[in-house]
């Protein structure tokens, strides 16, 4: 039990910059029709997903959290599937037909 606790405490975490996928540098483009029928106006509004901050920093473990896997962690599993947020590598990640993802323990 103590050996497992020591491994969890020694797990290396890294800071990673993530960009918002819903916008272009914090702005979204919207087109508004011109009343006179001419070319529509283009408006730029702050993104509602990231509130204009297109980059956020997240802390994640450097390696996959599946036992005996030394690949780099790339994807965060949601709480819906596992009850906790864990990070897995591309090899252990799979998406089902509905679009929900989870870790693949059959690899």
Q: List, for residues 89-105, the tens digit of each pLDDT value.
A: 888 776 544 444 555 54
Q: What is the pLDDT of residue 3?
A: 47
- Given a cut of 60, whether residue 32 has pLDDT beyond it is yes
Residue 42 counted as domain residue? yes
Domain count of the fold of the chain:
1
User: What residues have CB less than 8 Å from 75, skipping those under 6 apart?
Assistant: 87, 88, 89, 90, 93, 101
- The per-residue pLDDT of the chain, averaged, comes to 75
Residue 69 counted as domain residue? no
Residue 41 counted as domain residue? yes
How far apart CA 70 and CA 103 sit, in angstroms, is: 15
The pTM for the full model equals 0.50
Q: What is the pLDDT of residue 80?
A: 52
């Amino acid at each position: 039990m103590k050996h497992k606790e020591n491994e969890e405490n020694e797990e290396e975490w890294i800071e990673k910059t993530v960009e918002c996928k819903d916008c272009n540098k914090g702005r979204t483009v919207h087109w508004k029709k011109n009343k006179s029928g001419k070319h529509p106006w283009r408006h730029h509004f702050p993104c509602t997903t990231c509130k204009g901050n297109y980059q956020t920093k997240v802390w994640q473990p450097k390696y996959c959290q599946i036992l005996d896997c030394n690949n780099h962690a790339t994807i965060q599993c949601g709480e819906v599937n596992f009850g906790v947020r864990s990070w897995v590598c591309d090899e252990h990640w799979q998406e089902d037909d509905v679009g929900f993802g989870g870790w693949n323990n059959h690899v």
